[in-house]
Amino acid sequence: MPTTEQNAPIEVPRGLKGVVVTDTSIGDVRGLEGFYHYREYSAVELAERRTFEDVWHLMFHGALPGPAERAEFTARTAALRRLPADVIDALPAIARSTALSGPLSGLRTALSLAGASAGFRPLYDIDGPARAADALAACAAVPTLVTALHRLGRGLEPVSPRDDLPHAANYLYMLTGEEPDPASARAVEQYLISTVDHGFNASTFTARVIASTGADLAACLVGAIGALSGPLHGGAPSRALDTLDAIGSPDRIDDWLRERILAGDRIMGFGHPVYRTEDPRSRLLKGIARGFGGDLVDFAVQVEARAEAILAELKPGRELHINVEFFAGVVMELCGLPREMFTPTFAVARVVGWSANILEQAEDSKIIRPLARYAGPPPPRPVPEG
């Protein structure tokens, strides 16, 4: 059993499960209820009723904007989408060096460069307005960076952002070079809103730990992106869609699922470390997918139903439902996003939540410094002569 510096015994649950590390006013996940919220609003209702810019404003300023505030905030964020010349000049080399690992890997380098180019200073050394300005600039730049890296990786020229398009529509425009149809733009916007924040997940906690050191905002975000790149965190939307491809047809669903479950394999897109009910994000995205319709959606609905039934049969007593990744992949596929851009698209949304958490953490001057339980041979051991 671990001890504190005063040798009082303490408990250390694996993965810090259930450990409360701080207070936050940004949002919460209620896993037993199947509910999560941003500030005082249901995140799902925000995705159904508001724009991405509205939610961005809520996360940064603590309140939804009125019409005049929305117009001002939208114009301000749109003006920050363009990259400085030195960053633009470096992107081809970054894209070449990360061709195998993809745009999310390239984003870590590009965002670090963008922060340095913009003169981001340590959070410890600047005041609240300066921190917020850095956060706003970083969030506005991320879609431009990831789409440029994606296009360069495919031998295409980056597409410059447009000030007249909303955030989600502009993202799709920079990705494809064509103005998106309203249905696709709205579907992607709703996905982005639904994934802005989700409690103290691995990437958000990473961002806050770095922020607690007083590092600059870009450093905090780069650390969060590194955490997001793990398949157990943000890397699953494309893998969930790969599952549908592997099954192939309705007549193979049961056999394929039973074989994988009995072998102890994880079925990507199912289960969540917090929710013991259906993931509310998956419910939202399933509805969006059904609005498009088609064979892929019908097949995904069939796989979901059979997977839940077989999981209940083979793993009784465990609540295993689809999570956000399952229908997120379906929606993004229907909207024309290539699979290697699924997780970078998640980052386009989550950078706003990360930044809100970084700004909140920066108000606390205490560095995050937990203890670890030593489990090696008992010290002290005599050091042998060399």
d(CA 159, CA 82): 11
Peptide bond into 380 cis (omega under 30): yes
Are 217 and 225 spatial neighbours (Cβ–Cβ below 8 Å)?
no
Q: What secondary structure does DSSP assign to 48-108, as a single string?
A: HHS-HHHHHHHHHHSS---HHHHHHHHHHHHHT-SPPHHHHHHHHHHHHHTTTT-HHHHHH
| Pairing, β 27-30 against β 41-42 | unpaired
- Any idea what the Cα angle at residue 354 is, between residues 57 and 344, rounded to 5°? 100
HEC assignment per residue over 200-240: CCHHHHHHHHHHHCCCCHHHHHHHHHHHHCCCCCCCCHHHH
d(CA 235, CA 353): 18
List the catalytic residue out of 57, 272, 304, 333. Answer: 272
List the catalytic residue out of 53, 304, 325, 333. Answer: 325
9: which strand partners? 3
Annotation marks residue 325 as catalytic = yes
Instruction: Give me the residue label for tokens 């909207």.
Output: 335
DSSP H or E stretch at residue 345: helix 342-362
d(CA 104, CA 113): 14
Identify which of 250, 335, 323 has the alpha carbon closest to the alpha carbon of residue 291: 335
Burial label, 4 (beta-carbon count in 10 A; 0-12, 13-18, 19+):
exposed
Are 174 and 152 spatial neighbours (Cβ–Cβ below 8 Å)?
no
42: which strand partners? 37
Active site residues: 272, 325
